């Protein structure tokens, strides 16, 4: 076993899959039974081992998935099915009873509790984080989410505007920028949470900063992927 993989093995926790099933057109619902308490906040992600330690370099071993929900002893994921990489194959092949190794929940893309209002912006790959964070706010938020198809819409609380981007390729950044530009008056101090495809995140951030005079401190950004980048399937 490569030395890096051996170090990684010591950082992983063990879980058992209890649910692995389709959840809509391109989503899979995965529920993991865990041992002991996990320190989780809505928006946190876990790193899942998707290939045998002996066969892969550490870079290829893990994929990142935002946690849809956590109840004591059980993590629930919504995994977006796309591509043919190791993460996509792991999600498709996983069956109830399978052992799953993962790193504990972590991340800084979480709700800012002192904000007077919250605006979430992203495409379908950001839906899980948006859904978990919106639920923690009891739906007291707004969201702009671009999807390829209505079947890709997850149940998300709050004032949600679903935007059809009309393509199976990487989303056109202008789609969400235009949606943000058309928003009515926004309460001062509103925190904007931007997540999903990297170029789209940056385009929305630039719009907020330069066209809407949005304070930089009130923008929280988390790029999840970009076309052609290895390890982001």
Residue 168 and residue 111: Cα distance in Å, rounded? 30
101 and 163 part of one domain: no
Q: What is the CATH number of the domain that holds 41?
A: 2.40.30.10
What's the mean pLDDT in 115-141?
96
96 and 19 part of one domain: yes
Domain-located, residue 164: yes
81 and 12 part of one domain: yes
pLDDT, tens digit (0-9, with 9 covering 90-100), for 44-80? 999 999 988 765 566 678 999 999 999 988 999 999 9
209 and 128 part of one domain: yes
**Domain span including residue 202:** 118-225
pLDDT at 115 over 90: yes
pLDDT-based confidence at residue 226 (cuts at 50, 70, 90) = confident
Domain's final residue, options 75, 106, 137: 106
Q: Give the distance from CA 225 to its chain's centroid.
A: 10
91 and 156 part of one domain: no
Domain's final residue, options 78, 106, 134: 106
Contact 165, 200 (CB under 8 A): no
Overall domain count for the chain: 2
180 and 206 part of one domain: yes
140 and 216 part of one domain: yes
Rounded to two decimals, what is the model's pTM? 0.91
* Inter-CA distances, 192 with 91, 189, 198, 200, Å: 30, 9, 16, 14
């Amino acid at each position: 076993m490569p030395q890096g993989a051996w170090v990684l093995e010591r950082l992983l926790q063990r879980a058992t899959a209890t649910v692995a099933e389709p959840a809509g057109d391109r989503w899979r619902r995965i529920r993991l039974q865990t041992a002991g308490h996990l320190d989780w906040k809505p928006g946190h992600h876990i790193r899942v081992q998707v290939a045998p330690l002996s066969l892969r370099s550490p870079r290829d071993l893990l994929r990142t998935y935002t946690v849809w929900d956590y109840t004591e002893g059980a993590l629930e994921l919504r995994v977006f099915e796309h591509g043919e990489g190791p993460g996509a194959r792991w999600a498709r092949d996983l069956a109830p009873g399978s052992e799953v190794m993962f790193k504990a929940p972590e991340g800084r893309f979480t709700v800012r509790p002192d904000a007077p209002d919250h605006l979430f912006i992203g495409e379908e790959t950001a839906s899980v984080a948006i859904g978990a964070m919106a639920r923690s706010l009891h739906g007291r938020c707004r969201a702009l989410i671009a999807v390829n198809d209505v079947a890709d819409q997850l149940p998300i609380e709050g004032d949600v505007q679903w935007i059809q981007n009309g393509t199976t390729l990487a989303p056109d950044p202008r789609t969400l920028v235009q949606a943000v530009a058309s928003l009515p008056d926004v309460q001062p101090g509103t925190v904007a949470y931007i997540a999903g495809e990297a170029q789209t995140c940056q385009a929305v951030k630039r719009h907020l900063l330069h066209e809407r005079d949005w304070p930089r401190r009130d923008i929280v950004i988390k790029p999840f992927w970009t076309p052609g980048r290895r390890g982001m399937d």
